[in-house]
Amino acid sequence: MDKLQTPPIVTSDFIYLRLIEDRRLAENQFGKIQIDRTEEIRGWAAKMKEIKQNEKNVKAGIVAANNHYGGYGPGTVDIFRQNMDMEKLSFENVDMAKINRQLDLEPRFNFSGQKHNKGKQTMLSDFFN
């Protein structure tokens, strides 16, 4: 299906771009850019700018990147932002240890009343067991 070509027809008032990649980067490599995707990102930003210029009904653009794309999803999105002539973000004061601890918190919505399984998630229902 990777050869499938979707016609470039705008059918909504927003554009959603999801930058994902295979799983060749191990999780212990996440946290900084490992693969330089600048040229690809520059091309996607150019397409987004073209849509912004030519499609007056489009009101928003949403860009998401997983860590597998380049090693650090937020950094990838920041590179995209800069290619869109937006302000560079700073991640210097981000406490990753604190964020990782927060991810181990009990879920906010526990419909089953059972304790959260703190192991790795394998399916959606793992959050409610």
Residue 62 lies in a domain: yes
Residue 37 lies in a domain: yes
Tens-place pLDDT, residues 46-63: 999 999 999 989 999 899
Residue 61 lies in a domain: yes
What's the structural domain count of the chain? 1
Task: Write the DSSP symbol of residue 93.
Answer: T
Residue 99 lies in a domain: no
Tens-place pLDDT, residues 4-17: 777 777 888 998 99
Residue 39 lies in a domain: yes
Q: What global pTM score does this model have?
A: 0.64
Rounded distance, CA 115 to CA 119, Å? 12
Cα 18 to Cα 61, 73, 86, distances in angstroms: 11, 11, 18
Q: Which domain holds residue 72?
A: 14-94
